Structure 1
Amino acid sequence: MDPALGPPEAMAEKRDELTPMMAQYHDLCARYDDAIVLFQVGDFYETFCGAAERTARLLEIALTSREDSTGEYPMAGIPIDNAESYVETLLEAGYRVAVADQVEEPGESPGVVERAVTRVVTPGTLTEDELLASDDNNFVAAVARGRGSGAKSDDPELALALLDVSTGDFFATSSTSSEAIADEVSRFDPAEAVVGPNAPTDLFAERCMVTPYDATAFDRERAGETVSRYFRNPDALLASDAEIRACGAALAYAEYVRGGEHEGERDTTLEEEAEGGENDTDADDSDRNRLEYITHLTRYDPREYLLLDAVAMRSLELFEPRAVEGREEATLVGVLDETACALGGRTLRDWIRRPLLEPDRIEARLDAVEELTADLQTREPLHDRLRNVYDLERLIGRISRERANARDLRSLRDTLAVVPEIREEIADADCTRLQELHGSLDPLVDVRELIDDAIVSDPPIEITEGDIIAQGYDDGLDELRATARDGKQWIDDLEDGERERTGIDSLKVGYNSVHGYYIEVTNPNLESVPEDYQRRQTLKNSERFVTPELKEREDQIVGAEERADEREYELFCEVRREIAAEVERVQGLADALATLDALVSLATVAAQYDYCRPELLERDERAGLEIDIDGGRHPVVERTQESFVPNDATLTNAQRLAVITGPNMSGKSTYMRQVAQITLLAQVGSFVPARAARLTPADRIFTRVGASDDIAGGRSTFMVEMDELATILREADEHSLVLLDEVGRGTSTADGLAIAQAITEHLHDIVGATALFATHHHPLTELADDLEAAFTLHFEVEQVDGEVVFHHDIAPGAATGSYGVEVATAAGVPADVVERSRELVADAASDGTADDDDVPIDAEATDESTTATASADGGDVPTDIAAELRALDLAHLTPVEALTELDRLKRLLEE
């Protein structure tokens, strides 16, 4: 545990001697020993002792001190009104934050003001709009081990539960393969994880915060009880013992961070409930902590969707650009996201995260996108109206948690006001999906009318200070307001009457919160003060008085105002609870609006950038994929370039492994990625950037593209490459699309070529996957003659006045060269280095070692031989040096690397 957390040691040693307030702080630190406790003192959240020193450094705030009967200790505080920005900094630094608010007004009871932790803020359980990304979910994950289900019920299973506490989205899945669960973690990218006993924590390595949590929350009995409070019959809803454990723990953790009881106290509650529910108070407490807006749990099988692991998602730049300083616009979601509201943005990201496999579901989305693409008169008004849709999922969550204010209710009302208009726009829709959405757009007229009747149109933020309930909603409130209003009118008339009665023209009637209403008379006029005036306050230049009648009126006014404020708060809470009871209807509306917004976004992009509807081919389970793309374009790259050269792609069961050659910068990687992204977009239900596209839905996309290392994990670039290749060869099948780029470049040319050839043969002969393999190992092109389903493609270039010109057109056959020196020239390598490189290439060509084409493709080429090769001076060149010379890929070494290699070999000859 961080020494800044937990009960301060100095306080723990003399707990009984602490002041009441500091004893409160000590106890809360002890109960929430995994978090920094922000302790409300007036208008500030304070920290003390070691926590104060830590927060002062992290937040760059002043470190002060506090002194009482027990001594002096550090103190640092932040203003409550601006707390969220400071909390965000603490979360980014890796801390959890327990917010301890004053839960009673000063003076309500003797002694110190009572404080309690009202919420625990952690990265995965955020509910504050200021700390959340509006266009994506924020998941906390729970992982548990347990028994499997069905025929394999004795096999240990790993389950993953994912809960977005801000929206109520809740998913669960399981597998006997930890790799499959790791892929799902990558897919959903949780912000935080709680891990059960014996469950692997490395699933989340460097991905998110892993939070230690009460292990008993993962107990089967307790987890089952927790899930049962939310959903009937967990055993029927979830597929395995492990899933119940994971879901129960996720819900328990969400309840814990909400505040209230400590989980240790809740253990007792659950034990008593399990024994027969004898403790009604504890049972009520348990129900009170239930998060009412979590109403749906989606149990899914990862195999129901196109599988994308972390490597593929990163390589295809779905959500994050590969460039360190890249922008979100340079991602697939960046070019597709034309959503009008946060609901649609999150749904679109979920669709990209989980592309579909079932053709009927894909076609249903495509039908909707096609109709919206063709109908500008419907699409644009829909988009404009959807801009007025508030984030209903997070809003109803706040309403259910009793954290919504009156403005939130008006935001809900404003959203409901545009629903009839949105329904009208798609009332005449032809496709089934839009018709279904029309039926799902419940305008919640009763909820809208309730808010219109109860809440003023422009309420204040504070809900305890009045002016939020509309006139005419409650007779009792109207009477109290009338009493206060009549009293104030009497006060307004009092000043004129008293001036006339006393003859004091400067007499004033005023009010302050300490002394109430008063009549103020300046010192020169004190002799004219009537006898019935009673002195209330003496000032430097005047005296303030009160009369018995004024005092009576004051009591009426202030009493009426206070009772009115209290009544308004009661009425507001009643209205909020009444709306919270409609949580499932609001969530159903939110889902329909989100889906419609995502469809409109896809249609907008399709219309604006000339995308076409892909044709889905029926899959033959005994054959591989078929992909036929006419004039395909990379959806991201074409947005960043002034011009883009479209290319065709045809992959069939008869020709399913393409070996692609060509120089760097010619477009090999872009071409491969665009084939994969077009496939993925089609399975999202989107139109695709092409003149035409016909394809079979893929089960999985694998990529091995680009160089990366894992220095912290002790893995070199080559080791990372081999790990990724091992995963592909182990898990790919005939319904997988595989992208390989420059495999085997992290070792010697001979070893790299041997690895590349063996992988190519394995993919072709054993796996049967559809694959695109870009390589500089030109001998691999000869494999097309030996492997039945392999063929070659290349990108054409030409030299004009000594400069290489890239056409970015793909064509059948193999490239004639790699043009490495020409690319170096185009990159601005100094002329003398380029010229020396040309000399070295020419020398290598004369020796027969110019490029990989001269390296034998059979395995014997890598074996040591007992023969010798004649050297220039008539001697013998050692066999190992001759082999190294033959294996050198001089055309693709940098000039410095080429010179270094020549110098090394020369020294070997001189030894």
Structure 2
Amino acid sequence: MSEPSTPLMRQYTAIKKEHPTALLFFRLGDFYELFFEDAVVAAKELQITLTSRNKEKGIAVPMCGVPYHAAENYISKLIRKGFKVAICEQMEDPRLAKKIVRREVTRVVTPGTAVDSGLSSEDNNFLAAVVEQEGRAGLAALDLSTGEFRATEFTGDEAARRIGDELQQLRPKEILYASSAPLFDARVPVEGKGGAAWRQELGFAETPLDDWVFSPDHAIPLLENHFGVLSLEGFGLAGKPAAATAAGAILYYVRSTQRGKLDHVDRIGFYERQNCLVLDAVTVRNLELIEPLFAGTDAGITLFRCVDATVTPMGKRLLRAWMLRPSINLGEIGARLDAVEVQVRDLVGREELRRALDGIFDLERLLSRVTLETANPRDVLALAASLARIPAVRKGLAKFAAERLRELWDLTDELGDLRERIERTVIPEPPLSLSDGGVIQSGIDGELDQLRELSRNSKQYLAEVEQRERQR
């Protein structure tokens, strides 16, 4: 990269130094621009035109850009290809800036922290962290888009291999690890493969972090503070330092890359392999539970496709999780079968419940985007539309006597007040972006109504002011 010659490029270079491993989307007016090597990579991956800047000075700076209102689609493409994207916004109105516009990176989107609507509704988008300390191997995984958070820990000579097996089942999009500890190098066999082979097969992004991030003295208190507890015993993590450390490292990473709160991440579950029927990656593949055994084969032959009659994205993910980790708890199995039995016997009631569920959007991911402050006005209306289906769902559940379905009926809150507030506040057909304006209905906020009136009738307002001044 050549020495910056203008204030703008000096600002860009300073921000880029803070995020050297990410493609920097640098906001300039109505576009996000990329420069230097970032521009070359983005132009190739996104199939957009590569131009140059400052040609008249004899310095050809590679450059490309995308419209800000369409940026999410381009960012999603880059994330799916394994890149990280730092989004740098203008923090003040360019018309009011006395010098160069102040800019800051507001969030960093990575393969493991993506929450956009382009994610597959069937799969979790896990961000994982692995820790090896004092003969223990810990693994934690967070799906930021749904709030699902889990951790486990292994000991003994087989600990690293078992972590590898778990990763093959979870298939995280990104893995965090301490920079001084190579992530499962070639000496670690998984399914008879070297570390490099299975890493390439899974296709996850690797993110090394400073060693202190994985220090128990840093990570465990961070986890306790997040959940507001003095001990992690209630989550099953007491005496599991490696698992808790991995979970704390994930929290640190998410907080350092995302804006907004993490209120939707309100619990973590410790799990052990003996809590379910253990299915290793070879078994899952050979039984064709989720994916066909041979590439190019129709996915419809898998067990998941054959039995999947779910009507909501949450149901699809839950079915997939149950299929990969079948319960061995007799009470749990009995409760599920009882719920199935009563619905099989009542065709009309079952279809009414299915119709009530049909039309519910991905509530988990909608709520995550709201919490992380990445939701747009249409996401908020989709949330309200989904909440509007809850009364019908509760009515459908009330017809069945199975204990599991009665529990669900009792636990379900219709949230009518929240739905009514959204419908009362947001116009029926809002723009895609909040920055486009015109999202809030009239009569909600007096000051907003007054400002709108001024913007629409500014000439009349000025004429009235002029008339008053003349009469004084």
Deviation string for 1:519-549 (max 9, x for gaps)? xxxxxxxxxxxxxxxxxxxxxxxxxxxxxx7
Classify 1:69/1:226 alpha carbon distance in 2 versus 1 (closer, same or farther; 3 Å): farther
Classify 1:84/1:362 alpha carbon distance in 2 versus 1 (closer, same or farther; 3 Å): same
Note the C-alpha offset of 1:449.
2.5
How do 1:213-232 and structure 2 match up within 5 A? Answer: 213-231=209-227, 232=229
Tell me, yes or no, if the aligned pair for 1:145 and 1:199 is still in contact at 8 Å. Answer: no
Note the C-alpha offset of 1:478.
4.8
3-state SS of paired residue (1:128): coil
- The 1-side partners of 2:306 and 2:466 are apart by 64
1:355 lines up with 2:326 in the alignment = yes
* Match of residue 538 from structure 1: none
- The 2-side partners of 1:555 and 1:174 are apart by 75
Tell me, yes or no, if the aligned pair for 2:151 and 2:269 is still in contact at 8 Å. Answer: yes
How do 1:297-696 and structure 2 match up within 5 A? Answer: 297-478=268-449, 488=457, 551-553=462-464
TM-score in terms of structure 2 length: 0.87
* Match of residue 192 from structure 1: 174
Residue 86 of structure 1 aligns with an amino acid whose one-letter code is: Y
Note the C-alpha offset of 1:293.
1.7
* Match of residue 713 from structure 1: none
1:201 lines up with 2:150 in the alignment = no
Tell me, yes or no, if the aligned pair for 1:229 and 1:290 is still in contact at 8 Å. Answer: no
- The 2-side partners of 1:250 and 1:42 are apart by 34
- The 1-side partners of 2:80 and 2:432 are apart by 28
- The 2-side partners of 1:554 and 1:373 are apart by 73
Residue 90 of structure 2 aligns with an amino acid whose one-letter code is: Q
How do 1:768-847 and structure 2 match up within 5 A? Answer: none
Deviation string for 1:125-182 (max 9, x for gaps)? 111112x1112210011001235xxxxxxxx210100001111110001011223222
Tell me, yes or no, if the aligned pair for 1:172 and 1:243 is still in contact at 8 Å. Answer: yes
3-state SS of paired residue (1:160): strand
- The 1-side partners of 2:466 and 2:169 are apart by 63
Tell me, yes or no, if the aligned pair for 1:139 and 1:162 is still in contact at 8 Å. Answer: yes
Tell me, yes or no, if the aligned pair for 1:293 and 1:397 is still in contact at 8 Å. Answer: yes
Deviation string for 1:265-307 (max 9, x for gaps)? xxxxxxxxxxxxxxxxxxxxxxxx6422211111111210111
Residue 182 of structure 1 aligns with an amino acid whose one-letter code is: G
5+ unaligned residues in a row in structure 1: which ranges?
A: 1-7, 148-155, 260-288, 489-515, 518-548, 557-911
How do 1:712-727 and structure 2 match up within 5 A? Answer: none
* Match of residue 111 from structure 1: 99
- The 2-side partners of 1:421 and 1:550 are apart by 50
Tell me, yes or no, if the aligned pair for 2:138 and 2:151 is still in contact at 8 Å. Answer: yes
3-state SS of paired residue (1:108): coil
Deviation string for 1:608-663 (max 9, x for gaps)? xxxxxxxxxxxxxxxxxxxxxxxxxxxxxxxxxxxxxxxxxxxxxxxxxxxxxxxx
1:54 lines up with 2:41 in the alignment = yes
- The 2-side partners of 1:116 and 1:88 are apart by 21
- 2:128 is aligned, of 125, 135, 141, to 141
- The 1-side partners of 2:422 and 2:78 are apart by 37
* Match of residue 167 from structure 1: 146
Note the C-alpha offset of 1:468.
2.7
Classify 1:89/1:461 alpha carbon distance in 2 versus 1 (closer, same or farther; 3 Å): closer
* Match of residue 190 from structure 2: none
1:125 lines up with 2:125 in the alignment = no
Classify 1:555/1:327 alpha carbon distance in 2 versus 1 (closer, same or farther; 3 Å): farther
Deviation string for 1:306-328 (max 9, x for gaps)? 11111111111111111211232
Larger Rg: 1
Classify 1:475/1:86 alpha carbon distance in 2 versus 1 (closer, same or farther; 3 Å): closer
Deviation string for 1:526-585 (max 9, x for gaps)? xxxxxxxxxxxxxxxxxxxxxxx77425999xxxxxxxxxxxxxxxxxxxxxxxxxxxxx
3-state SS of paired residue (1:137): coil
- The 1-side partners of 2:465 and 2:303 are apart by 66
Tell me, yes or no, if the aligned pair for 1:183 and 1:308 is still in contact at 8 Å. Answer: no
Residue 244 of structure 1 aligns with an amino acid whose one-letter code is: A
- The 2-side partners of 1:407 and 1:553 are apart by 38
3-state SS of paired residue (2:72): helix
Note the C-alpha offset of 1:70.
8.3
Note the C-alpha offset of 1:479.
5.5
Note the C-alpha offset of 1:57.
2.6
TM-score in terms of structure 1 length: 0.47
- 1:84 is aligned, of 63, 72, 92, to 72
- The 2-side partners of 1:117 and 1:324 are apart by 41
Note the C-alpha offset of 1:467.
3.1
- The 2-side partners of 1:409 and 1:91 are apart by 24
Give the count of matched residue pairs: 445
Q: Relative contact order, CA 8 A, sep 6+: which one is greater?
A: 2
- The 2-side partners of 1:335 and 1:112 are apart by 59
- The 2-side partners of 1:53 and 1:426 are apart by 55
- Percent identity, aligned pairs only? 36
- The 1-side partners of 2:354 and 2:296 are apart by 31
5+ unaligned residues in a row in structure 2: which ranges?
A: 186-194, 468-472
